[in-house]
Amino acid sequence: METETILQQMTVEEKAALVSGTNFMYTNPIPRLAVPSLRMADGPHGLRIQKEGGDNGISESEPATSFPTAATTASSWNPGNTRKMGEAIAAECRFYGVHTLLGPGVNIKRNPLCGRNFEYFSEDPLLAGVMGAAEVNGVQSKGVGVSVKHFALNNSENYRFMGNSVASERTMRKLYLKPFEYIVKHAHPATLMCAYNQINGTFCSENKWLLTDVLRKEWGFDGVVMTDWGAVHDRVAGLKAGLDLEMPGDTAICRRRILDGIHDGTLPAEALDSACRNILNWIDRYVQPADPKPVDWDAHHALAAEIAEDSAVLLKNDGVLPLSGSEKLHIAGELFRNMRYQGAGSSMIHPTKVTTPKDAFDAHGVKSAALEESDTVLIFAGLTDEYESEGCDREHMRLPENQLKEIDALLAGGKKTVVVLFGGSPVELPFADRVDAILNMYLPGQNGGTAVYDLLFGKKNPSGKLAETWPMRYEDVPSCVTFGKGINEIYAEGTEVGYRYYNKHNVPVRFPFGFGLSYTTFEHSEWTKDGNTCTQTVTNTGDRYGGEVAQLFINGELKGFEKVYLLPGESRKVTITIEEEPEIEYPDTYVVPKEPPRYPVTVESRFTDLNQTFLGRILYNAVLSVVKKQMKQAEKLPDGPEKDNAIKGAYFMKRIMDSNSPRSLSMCAGDRMPYNFAEGFAELTNGHLFRGIRCFMKKIDVPKLPKEEQNA
């Protein structure tokens, strides 16, 4: 049946069910009208799909290819990479019967300490938009939808569930909304995922200006707007603002409020119908049977290495690289054997296999002799999962202290030294002037070891360019004093983020935006401009094949780029057409609100705020006991990837619990923690024993779901 026909035949109860998810990753089916369930899965750089009957934790997922993260792929400055990656992920989605992929994440990297920066592309909106649009087009070209996230101003983790991003309209329009606008207009994503946070005092999930005025009316978006998992506050206000789907759903309170709103007229029927119409169109377009065609997992493993090789950034080279193979090497650093290849959090993938640098070196017969007998030292360093994860922001921009001590000790020997870095974000590099070469791999995916070997030994030529500035020290970052410190996140620096700030104020940086060395050399002609068209000739003046990026900046902002691959002596003309933008002056003011009090506790308080009272501490520890049990179980597992992922999952859940709110927790937990439990948590913490007990005893009555009616 057509969408309008189905819509006319649906009951209010069926509509209330359709705009709510179920079983964590599905939409609600309407069996009476043959409306199937649509299945979703994380994530931006590879599929994290729960095993049937799993606990929706991080570790219990099906094998899939762990591709390089967005922090890595953006450094390739080649949208062809994210397009190919998107196509490959879509093939794995089809194999497992997933209809929509939750990604890519395109939020601007405002501050290098954001714990989720590894999932985001760039500090620049054009680069983020172009790379994100290519991934969207790649996925959707294979019949799988995407959910571009997190819309909008979701640029930190510590207070993401309740934080208030305070920014002027000019700041939002010129920077933070730009990548989303580009993707909506150039790639037409199936869905957008609205973020947890508030924008100037209104939560994204009920922000009409954001979801309707800008997204739909100005940009022409005609897909589905869904929440991040647990981001609903006032469900009726959300529907009226343009929010279609609540995820993960199974919340009795939200269905109750929808039904009551329709009954008493506070929720217009057309608002509910509009959401149902968008969801039905999405289901009609993307729900299709699983593809029985086997996935070429080996080809995807090889593609992961190919993309990592094109994305790696050679930050320094005093002639020691590439290695000839005749060097006497001493290899050090924990990440040689235990390569960090992906981030920690909801996008953590169960890889089909992992090739570490040690695996690749062993396969090619490369050995490590003792330090005193060596002439060259390779140090594998970087951020570990304890330092960088979804759910919390980093505390500082330094490498782990044990790694810094090891590097200092090895440098004391006076050998040629190469540092290979892993991690999703910039770090301070106090040793940069004392080492001979630095190769930055970011988070290269499951086949990162192959990429490392090929790049170090010159089988491939590094051609990545930084998609973000690497400051000398964290104190040089414009938002360093206030970032991640409280519920109100004030965007006082406006659009002066990343290279816009450092260039304008002449602040020295360790490595600038767009920087990256090569094993060959290139020459760029001056840009010539004819109307909106700019041209430049790039020539490979060295003796190796390699890639180079032509970068067009106008008035200090990146306006276009193109990556070319050239043989020695080869030249190529690059032509970039600048997209015209309307000259609109947006207000550049904002109002700084007062910080809400930590006490009394409300359903919107940070979960750690429960610790302010005796009863609150009991409740907090009762919830955290689940995580502690998960950690104990993980530690009992035999050594290997399964144990590593289980431990990472437990750490992630601890971070999520701490930064969560009772309300958001209830919106994620369904009938395991209904909304009245969240209210009870607040009342008990505030010392209202009997009111708290009454909250726990309260029952929220709602009709059976359509799928339950069918079963009955």
- Ranges of beta strands (E only) in 545-663 are 546-554, 557-566, 571-577
Please give the helix or strand (H or E) that residue 646 lies within, else none. Answer: helix 641-659
What amino acid is encoded at 32 in this protein?
A: R
Q: Which helix or strand (DSSP H or E) is residue 421 part of?
A: strand 416-422
125 phi and psi, to 5 degrees?
-70, -30
Longest dimension (CA), the chain: 83
Only one residue has tokens 């069918």, namely: 710
CA-closest candidate to residue 76, choices 442, 471, 536: 442
Q: Point out which residues pair with 509 in neighbouring strands.
A: 471
What are 389's strand-pairing partners? 392
DSSP code for 196: S
Q: Report the C-alpha gap between 54 and 477 in whole angstroms.
A: 42
C-alpha span between 327 and 366 (Å, rounded)? 10
First to last CA, the chain: 25
Burial group, residue 573, by CB count within 10 angstroms (0-12, 13-18, 19+): exposed
Residues 609/19, Cβ–Cβ less than 8 Å: no
> Tokens 């970052």 appear where?
477
φ/ψ of 564, rounded to 5, equals -125, 150
Degrees (nearest 5) of the Cα angle 343, 344, 348? 80
Total residue count of the chain as it appears in this document: 712
Which H or E run contains 286?
Answer: helix 269-286
Active site residue 639: no
Q: Count the helices and strands in the chain (H runs, E runs).
A: 22, 26
Q: Return all residues near 218 (Cβ < 8 A) that are at least 6 apart.
A: none
Dig out the tokens for 43 from the structure. 């994530």
Q: What is the spatial distance between Cα 125 and Cα 112, in angstroms, rounded to a whole number?
A: 16
Tell how strand 546-554 and strand 533-540 pair up: unpaired
Q: Which two tokens stand for residue 507?
A: 């602040």
Q: What are phi and psi for residue 162, nearest 5 degrees?
A: -135, 0
Beta-strand pair 191-194/145-151 = parallel
**For residue 417, which of 320, 327, 326 has the smallest C-alpha distance?**
320
- Asked whether the beta carbons of 227 and 246 are under 8 A apart, the reply is yes
CA quadruple 275, 279, 284, 285: dihedral positive or negative?
A: positive
3-state class percentages of the chain: helix first, strand second, coil last, to nearest 5: 40, 15, 45
- Rounded Cα–Cα distance for residues 190 and 144 (Å): 9
Helix (H) or strand (E) holding 438: strand 437-440
The Cα-based distances of 23 to 14, 37, 90, 561, 710 in angstroms read: 17, 11, 22, 43, 16
Residue 312 sits at the vertex; the CA angle it makes with 474 and 140, to the nearest 5 degrees, is 100
Q: Residue 71's closest CA among 123, 110, 113?
A: 123
Q: How far apart are CA 279 and CA 500, in angstroms?
A: 40
Contacts (Cβ under 8 Å, ≥6 apart) of 34 = 1
Q: Which residues are paired to 194 by β-bridges?
A: 151, 227
Q: Which of 42, 228, 291, 310 is catalytic?
A: 228
What residues are labeled active site? 228
